[in-house]
Amino acid sequence: MIGFEVTDRVARLTINRPAKRNAVTAEMWATLRGHLDALDSRDVVAVVLRGAGGSFSAGADLTELRTPDPEYVGGVQEFAEATVLRLRDLAPPTVAEIDGPCFGAGCSLALACDVRICSPRSRFGIPSLRHGIVYEPVHVQRLVQVVGSGAAALLLYGGETWAGDEAARHGLVDRVTGDVPGAVEQVLAGLRGAPRPAVVATAAALRGGG
């Protein structure tokens, strides 16, 4: 349920559980982590994260987080957080290709990417409090870094849902377009022919500047 392919120096990771709007299970987190670790040994200059079937990701699979076993739930949450941070810390640039729902842990994954491009039909929200879940502090800090504390509070306290245009106004996404794959390809075109050390150094400088 996590597709993985490397073509022309670009890795594409696809969350592929469309029947559940790409909600991420513990098994999927483990698979994603394995793919991310495998990238260390590949000549990759960009990583694209996307969802299949008209959704980016509805977040973590809530049925697992409602299991009456706090130790299991805590373990899943810790591993999911570590996987998101692994995505954030990849050496090559990362791009979130977003179409459709992007909620909760889906937002965390998107925020871990360097560039976020979405369609007008995309929807963003973090309804963690509604489900009795604490949004991990490290993800709250990243959200505040990107959109500011006030806008972050609207998502976390107010449970707001933003369409693509509003997400762009708050800085949650960098571009809204009717052709998301085409816009992503424009970013990739500037990377494919570049030496990997130069690409990695540029990514590190941009992240340090943020």
Q: What is the pTM of this model?
A: 0.96
Domain extent at residue 181: 2-209
Distances (CA, A) of 95 to 34, 112, 133: 19, 9, 27
Distances (CA, A) of 206 to 59, 60, 91: 27, 29, 12
pLDDT at 90: 97
Angle CA 191–186–151, to nearest 5: 100
Segment 111-167, tens digit of pLDDT? 999 999 999 999 999 999 998 888 999 999 999 999 999 999 999 999 999 999 999
Query: Is a pLDDT exceeding 70 seen at residue 190?
Result: yes
Least confident of 43-52, 65-74, 152-161: 65-74
pLDDT at 209: 74
Query: Is a pLDDT exceeding 90 seen at residue 69?
Result: no
Query: Is a pLDDT exceeding 70 seen at residue 210?
Result: no
89-100: average pLDDT: 98
| Amino acid letter for position 123 | R
The mean predicted confidence, pLDDT, of the chain is: 96
pLDDT at 113: 98
| 81: enclosing H helix or E strand | helix 70-88
Q: Which of 72, 210, 84, 69 is nearest to 135 (CA)?
A: 84
Looking up residue 165, the CATH number of its domain turns out to be 3.90.226.10
pLDDT at 68: 83
The count of domains in the chain is 1
**Tokens 């993800």 appear where?**
139
Query: Is a pLDDT exceeding 90 seen at residue 14?
Result: yes
Instruction: Tell me the backbone φ, ψ of residue 9, rounded to 5 degrees.
Output: 70, 15
